[in-house]
Amino acid sequence: MSTLLVTHEDGLNHVTPDGHPERVARLEHLWPALEGKDVVRAEAPLAEDADLTLCHPQDYVTMIREAIPAQGFNQLDGDTWLSPGSYNCASRAVGGAMLAVDKVMAGEVGNAFVAMRPPGHHAETATPMGFCLFGTVAIAAKHALERHGLSRVAVVDFDVHHGNGSQDLLRGEARALFISSHQMPLWPGSGGAHETGDHDNVLNVPLAPGTAGQGFRQEYEGQVFPRLEEFRPELILISAGFDAHADDPLANLNLREDDFAWVTRRLCEIAAEQCKGRVVSSLEGGYDLRALAASGAVHLDELIRAAG
């Protein structure tokens, strides 16, 4: 089996103002680091409204579309900006994640990495925030449940920020387990261990500022992996944020590339035991360009190794 790598040139067309951390340069640095690897490549398709409304109301989708400026920028909140190419970029991130689910579920590939932007895990039901427009991974989870007939889909989010949007979109979905490890305290301020979802289907693992690889691994071995194995997922989705890296400018965790390789490897091992190796990973954060490229590369290496 092979690993699928999903990209599209539209990923470069969501432009943000100078100095914004979620910038075109993220993919300009990440994509070259993924070149030359033994993968199957695919271009991310545009998501349809019927896809986006698996998680968001139609009036929200329409609002985002109509807010796209003809030129320049439109600011949705203090962090989230739109440019003329933003809608197609975000739509392809969702479409790419759904395509990856389709290919993995069909057995055409063993697993997949969707290297697109903007991130999606902060977009709530009807609120864009934290650089995010649509709940990419949550939509992919609903797509797997509704259109592939799965009964149990797990989302594991190791971005340094709490995936408040994914939690909002999945907390009422008993067939989905959402797990987020994240620095606390840190924006957006949610993600306490007491937040467990409507069906005891949310596990939040707050990490203190300064936590390094050993502490991260202990929490995953002690909490995340046992809960995941108990759930017995038929598909594992990863929100792969690399901003928990020690060099990232937006937070204060101290992970290194080998920690991201380790967590990817362990998630793939659980997938091999539980769900025929089915893993679909989508890029979330990661704002130090060197660290993002290096971490994304080892993440993909572990997916390739697992697909075998």
CB burial of 294-308 (b: ≥16 within 10 Å; e: otherwise) equals bbbbbbbbbbbebbe
Kindly give the interhelix angle for 136-147 and 86-105, rounded to the nearest 10 degrees. 40
- Take residue 230 and report the two structure tokens written for it: 């108990």
- d(CA 204, CA 91) in angstroms, rounded, equals 28
Neighbours of 146 (CB within 10 A): 11
- Active site positions, annotated: 122
Please answer whether residues 108 and 101 qualify as being in contact, where contact means their C-beta atoms are separated by less than 8 angstroms. Answer: no
- d(CA 76, CA 66) in angstroms, rounded, equals 12
For residue 123, the number of C-alpha atoms closer than 13 Å in the C-beta half-sphere is 26
Does an H or E element contain 198, and which? none
- d(CA 231, CA 225) in angstroms, rounded, equals 10
Please answer whether residues 208 and 254 qualify as being in contact, where contact means their C-beta atoms are separated by less than 8 angstroms. Answer: no
